[in-house]
Structure 1
Amino acid sequence: MAGAKDTGTGHGNSRPAPGRQVAEALELIGAGAYLVDEQGHILAVNSRAVELLGRRAEDMAGQDAHELLHRGPQGQQMPATRCGMRQAFHARHPAHAEEDYFARADGSVLPISWFLTPYAGTGREAHTLVIFHPRKQAPCAEPAPERSAEPMSELERLALLAETTTQVTSTLNVDETLRRLVALVLPRLADWAVIDLITEHEEVWRTSVVHVDEGRLVHREDLEGPMPPVPEESPMPLSRALRGVASALVAPDTYQRTPDSGIAVEQRHLFEVTGIRSAVIVPLRGTREVLGALTLGRADKPGEFSASDLPLIEDIARRAGLALDNARLYQRQRAVAETMQNHLLPQMPRVPGLQMAVRYLPAPDASQVGGDWYDAFTLSDGATALAVGDVVGHDLEAAAGMAQLRNMLRAYAWSQQAPPSRIVERLDEAIMPITDVSMATLVFARVIRTDDGTWELSWTNAGHPPPLLVTRDGLTDYLTDGHSLLLGTGLSKSRPDATLPLPPGSTLLLYTDGLIEAPGRTLDEGMERLRQHAAALAHRPLPSFADQLLRRVQPPGLDDVALLALRTPARTGGGLDRAVTAPEI
């Protein structure tokens, strides 16, 4: 399939395995199927492909699919320049062939038909799905059979169902799920697609009306918007679909009779404006309730929908409905998690002469509230306390532990006139007997204004990524002093302090490891990336600095990110700039 050579040693190459959902989707396909990466190396195969090819899945994993499988009629190696599959693979567009050949493990040649389609992986990967089935060779004396008059072959139907599963289940965004669904069915099945969704308030909203116009998908926003309520007893097709009763074949005269409800009036208007002459309306069902309805219409596309089309479209709608249900649940849980986390995180104090900005990005798992946190508060001696930490875990227990840890730290810091190291030592002593926290990392610091008007930082670091200091001229320094063991180890050891004057106009950045850790990247690489972008943004106003830093560093989203940035006043003339900027929350 791919022209690129394998630089490794066969299936010993190290490549990320596809997700469980993709592997399960492959098994749902009734034909042989395998998945390749952007170089054409096999990532996964289904059991039907293993059976047809007589090869073990682990022997195929990591192999160049073209070199391993593709052959000529007599079993000869297929030149890459003559491989239609390879050309479609590199062009990133769907393709199929009715007559081709794959090599089996025993050296025999398997005549096949195949279908190839690209799709986006869960991250930025460009994957390709290949579906194939054995082809019976007709005797040479007999003429080749004519192509079926069916608009889609069985292989194409299987490929469409497989593509639907992989496409709609690889996103947890409702709008993206709907966009992918429309792109899958247009123009393959119809030239109009209409999606009506039932909102959480039991209202119907015509969310998408899309038309194929000269190969482009055009949204008809003038036909979208709120719909009348669903009648409880209406026999009209859309009303029945939205109640989850049944699917239906629909023609324009279906809605020419006297309308029995407002929703029937809207349907008649839809058919009149679009010119749809044949349509199918099917329910979109979740695991617990009906989520809406999908309407596919043909106006310019030849052919009429028939009863034989219903099973395929219902299957597509069933898979899309489950994906939509998951996406909605994810977004609801994420909203709850973000609201809870925001209430757990504190408001920043106003400190004359200092600017502060804080940001928090939750982990992608919407059901989990993280243990990353920041804090800043005024101490009894007038100093400003800064803290950023990470409680081990990514669930409600970690969030509760984070709140306990933060509150204890505040109490110790306020009540004791002691350096940061001593405060953290007392906190560490109390973690195991008092809190539910098993382990945590923490940077705790004091910022105080000296007699000459400058600002001084003292801090201790309990196993946390080091703070980053950025001067107004873009010079950077990771503050690696004052480092010691993380909290909760049970080891009783004294902790060091470190002290540093903060240059005028400098920015101090405290952050959690979600900002610098990513799969396939070392910690040093993540810290260097953060340093480069922080230096480039040193001249930006502090709120913009924080926003742009997150945008440029692009945390991978596998963990929470908490960020606290503090900026000292710049010198103006003979003194310090005393202007106070409200903190950015």
Structure 2
Amino acid sequence: MSDIGRPWETDMLRAVFDSVGAGMLVLDSSGLITASNPYARQIVDRPGEQLLGADMHDLLHRDEDGNEIARRECPIMGVLDSGEHSEGSEEFYLRGDGTLVPIIWAASPLQHGGAFEGAVVVFHDFKKHRDANEQTAAHLAALEELTTRLSMVAEVSTLLISSLHIGETLDGLVRLLVPELGDWAVVDLLPEDGTEGDLKRVAVHSRGDRGGAESLKGPLPPLPHASRAALARALYNNEPVLLDASAQDGEPDEPIARAHRQLFEHLGEGSAMVVPLYTRRQVFGALTVARRGQQTSYTDAEIMVLTDIARRAGLVIESTRLFEQRLDMAETLQRQLLTPLPQVDHLWFAARYQPAQQASEVGGDWYDAFLLADGVTTMVIGDVVGHDLQAAAHMAEVRNMLRALAWDRQEPPSEIMRRLDGVMTHTSDAPMATVVFARIEGPDGGPWHLHWVNAGHPPPLLVTAGGEARYLEDGHGPLLGMNSALHLGLEWPDAREELPERSTLLFYTDGLVESRDRHLDTGLEELRRHAADLVEHELEDFLDGLLARIDPKGDDVALLALRIPPAGAGADEDPAAPQRAHSPAVPERGAPGSRVEGSPVRDTSDPV
């Protein structure tokens, strides 16, 4: 037995009709409204009695401008004609207060007992959906703009940390800012000492420029504190300054303002932002970015981006200058610790010192050459553990100990090394060190002999005038700082080797032959081969050639070379004898040691 037609069913359908979360209108076959639910009346802002019996199309349907629409063009009325379902989102209903509401709708034919009796229209207020879509689109656009800005800031940050040369960095910066944030950009820097003085324009780039902007670089007029120019306000107030047309007209008639005005004359009129390059400690200069013509002025967001970029650039300028100062101080200190070279009896010396490239640090490598009380000339190469100021201090300490011990007594090198190891252990906190200590012995005019000892250092390299190169492997003993400390009872054997005329003797530190990507044996073979190939060059060129070919990186490198004169050569007989010796030491220092009264050795040193 069927339940259709029972009273409770009618009540249920009415409850669904009234409470469904959408507007519902029931139309008869001619388009008159026969029923409406509360949500429909709320959307169109009309009471039920105004809707009941009214023609839906004539009462409600309008275009987006509020004009009536021909009935034949109404898609909802088309459902009554076709008897087929339809839906859309391009229609507007006229509300009771005279405003329009966009709707999203669906209409289905209504049949009862097999007969077509009209249509049911279900609709929503589409304004909320449209607002949400527009808001989403706006958020996406803002997010895209933010992403673009962040990408540019990331590129700028990468650029700023990729170079230690301020000029190159700032040139790259203005090229990144154009055309993203302007049509041209300029960087002006204050004097490096931070004092009031002339600005210098160091970077210029213009959109479409073919090189003419370069002529705008160079010194600028003075910038007094009393100046009211935009540059002065940006620098001395440490805040961005907007230069639109009216602000440019109000610029004072001062040399610095006129120089700034020339930018607009050469690169294009428009609006500009002047932002200071600064850190918490110092202002370094100003960045000017401009747009030509009547383009929109800079927004708050763009000003924030430019200010952030300028701050980052200021930090890089500060850190670069501090690094340069530290590097200069370290290099000066290192060269104060190095000693000038003596030139005695045509024994020609040359030296090089190359600091580690990864940091502005002094190191523990050193070379030395000086005269002893018995008239013998010494050669020393050494390396104290470490790559910092403490290593340099220990290096100076060990070097001076060795000098004092060698001068105090005319003893074999092995004995000097034994006593140096004990002195280091008991009177110094210097760590382990490697050293080659040698005496260049022989009568005036030769022949010459090398008398040496090696405390754990790479072996000396002897190259004959004919290009035969070999390492002097004898004389090896333990590192300094181990034997006495650990009571090992080890010895340092003396070694002797004849030094042929015109031969070259090379002392070096391990940074020349060993690195993370090169094994020691490979480095030694490479050095031997290059030294043999370069031995015919003058001694200075010989060392420069070795450094150029081997190109050591990552560690300090010290080199000390000796060129033996021809047999029987005297100080006044050989016009080829060098008058000066290049030395990595500071030029004001004199060569250690001097001619001892009665000694056959003559000191002809004239340090540079």
TM-score (normalizing by structure 2): 0.66
How far did residue 444 of structure 1 move? 0.9
SS in 1 for 2:439: strand
Q: Does residue 411 in structure 1 map to residue 409 in structure 2?
A: no
Residues 167, 203 of structure 2: 8 Å contact kept? no
Q: Hey, what does 1:175 align to over in structure 2?
A: 167
Given the alignment, which residue of 448, 463, 466 partners 1:470? Answer: 463
Residues 170, 203 of structure 2: 8 Å contact kept? no
How far did residue 187 of structure 1 move? 4.3
Given the alignment, which residue of 531, 536, 539 partners 1:534? Answer: 531
Q: Hey, what does 2:329 align to over in structure 1?
A: 336
Q: Return the alpha-carbon distance in structure 2 between the equivalents of residues 343 and 443 of structure 1.
A: 22
Aligned in 2, Cα 1:323/1:431: closer, same or farther, shift over 3 Å? Answer: same
Q: Hey, what does 2:203 align to over in structure 1?
A: 209
How far did residue 498 of structure 1 move? 1.9
Residues 382, 448 of structure 1: 8 Å contact kept? no
Q: Could you list the runs of 5+ residues in structure 2 that have no partner in the other structure?
A: 1-133, 584-608
Q: Hey, what does 1:382 align to over in structure 2?
A: 375
SS in 2 for 1:444: strand
Deviation per residue, 1:61-106 (Å, 9 max, x gap): xxxxxxxxxxxxxxxxxxxxxxxxxxxxxxxxxxxxxxxxxxxxxx
Residues 508, 559 of structure 2: 8 Å contact kept? yes
Residues 446, 567 of structure 2: 8 Å contact kept? no
Q: Return the alpha-carbon distance in structure 2 between the equivalents of residues 253 and 469 of structure 1.
A: 78
Given the alignment, which residue of 532, 544, 549 partners 2:546? Answer: 549
How far did residue 561 of structure 1 move? 1.9
Q: Hey, what does 2:511 align to over in structure 1?
A: 514
Q: Return the alpha-carbon distance in structure 1 between the equivalents of residues 144 and 504 of structure 2.
A: 62
Q: Return the alpha-carbon distance in structure 2 between the equivalents of residues 501 and 344 of structure 1.
A: 31
Residues 168, 177 of structure 1: 8 Å contact kept? yes
Deviation per residue, 1:441-500 (Å, 9 max, x gap): 111111123477232212211112222223333332222221221111124421012222
Aligned in 2, Cα 1:432/1:182: closer, same or farther, shift over 3 Å? Answer: farther
Aligned in 2, Cα 1:445/1:488: closer, same or farther, shift over 3 Å? Answer: same
Q: Hey, what does 1:368 align to over in structure 2?
A: 361
SS in 2 for 1:314: helix
Deviation per residue, 1:97-117 (Å, 9 max, x gap): xxxxxxxxxxxxxxxxxxxxx
Q: Return the alpha-carbon distance in structure 2 between the equivalents of residues 322 and 175 of structure 1.
A: 15
Residues 449, 499 of structure 2: 8 Å contact kept? yes
Residues 345, 445 of structure 2: 8 Å contact kept? no
Given the alignment, which residue of 278, 286, 296 partners 2:279? Answer: 286
How far did residue 440 of structure 1 move? 1.1
SS in 2 for 1:377: coil
1:120-139 → structure 2 map (5 Å cutoff): none
Given the alignment, which residue of 559, 562, 569 partners 2:565? Answer: 569
Aligned in 2, Cα 1:573/1:366: closer, same or farther, shift over 3 Å? Answer: closer
Q: Return the alpha-carbon distance in structure 1 between the equivalents of residues 169 and 552 of structure 2.
A: 23
Q: Hey, what does 1:502 align to over in structure 2?
A: 499
Q: Return the alpha-carbon distance in structure 2 between the equivalents of residues 502 and 299 of structure 1.
A: 75
Deviation per residue, 1:15-37 (Å, 9 max, x gap): xxxxxxxxxxxxxxxxxxxxxxx
Q: Hey, what does 1:190 align to over in structure 2?
A: 182
Q: Return the alpha-carbon distance in structure 1 between the equivalents of residues 376 and 218 of structure 2.
A: 57
Deviation per residue, 1:207-235 (Å, 9 max, x gap): 42322465777761443224413424x44
Q: Return the alpha-carbon distance in structure 2 between the equivalents of residues 471 and 219 of structure 1.
A: 58
Given the alignment, which residue of 146, 155, 160 partners 1:163? Answer: 155
Residues 177, 324 of structure 1: 8 Å contact kept? no
What CA RMSD, in Å, does the superposition of the two structures yield over aligned residues? 3.3
1:89-108 → structure 2 map (5 Å cutoff): none
How far did residue 545 of structure 1 move? 2.0
Q: Return the alpha-carbon distance in structure 2 between the equivalents of residues 445 and 437 of structure 1.
A: 22
Q: Hey, what does 1:220 align to over in structure 2?
A: 214
Q: Return the alpha-carbon distance in structure 2 between the equivalents of residues 534 and 253 of structure 1.
A: 71
Aligned in 2, Cα 1:507/1:236: closer, same or farther, shift over 3 Å? Answer: same
Q: Hey, what does 1:29 align to over in structure 2?
A: none
How far did residue 367 of structure 1 move? 5.3
Q: Return the alpha-carbon distance in structure 1 between the equivalents of residues 498 and 182 of structure 2.
A: 69
Q: Return the alpha-carbon distance in structure 2 between the equivalents of residues 483 and 506 of structure 1.
A: 22
Given the alignment, which residue of 433, 441, 445 partners 1:448? Answer: 441
How far did residue 244 of structure 1 move? 4.9
Which amino acid in 2 is paired with 1:526?
G
Identity of aligned residues (%): 46
Deviation per residue, 1:335-383 (Å, 9 max, x gap): 1111111111111112121211112222346553222111100112222
Q: Return the alpha-carbon distance in structure 2 between the equivalents of residues 291 and 368 of structure 1.
A: 26
Given the alignment, which residue of 386, 396, 404 partners 2:389? Answer: 396
How far did residue 242 of structure 1 move? 1.6
1:222-301 → structure 2 map (5 Å cutoff): 222-232=216-226, 234-251=227-244, 254-257=247-250, 259=252, 261-299=254-292
Residues 570, 577 of structure 1: 8 Å contact kept? no
Q: Could you list the runs of 5+ residues in structure 1 that have no partner in the other structure?
A: 1-141
How far did residue 258 of structure 1 move? 5.5
Given the alignment, which residue of 408, 413, 432 partners 1:439? Answer: 432
Deviation per residue, 1:118-148 (Å, 9 max, x gap): xxxxxxxxxxxxxxxxxxxxxxxx9x98999
Q: Return the alpha-carbon distance in structure 1 between the equivalents of residues 144 and 568 of structure 2.
A: 75
Q: Does residue 348 in structure 1 map to residue 313 in structure 2?
A: no
1:132-147 → structure 2 map (5 Å cutoff): none
Which amino acid in 2 is paired with 1:177?
T
Q: Return the alpha-carbon distance in structure 2 between the equivalents of residues 572 and 150 of structure 1.
A: 87
Q: Hey, what does 2:308 align to over in structure 1?
A: 315
Given the alignment, which residue of 467, 475, 478 partners 1:485? Answer: 478
Q: Return the alpha-carbon distance in structure 2 between the equivalents of residues 348 and 474 of structure 1.
A: 25
Q: Return the alpha-carbon distance in structure 2 between the equivalents of residues 308 and 480 of structure 1.
A: 70
How far did residue 282 of structure 1 move? 1.1
TM-score (normalizing by structure 1): 0.68
Which amino acid in 1 is paired with 2:202?
S
Deviation per residue, 1:166-205 (Å, 9 max, x gap): 3322433333432442343244433433222222151343
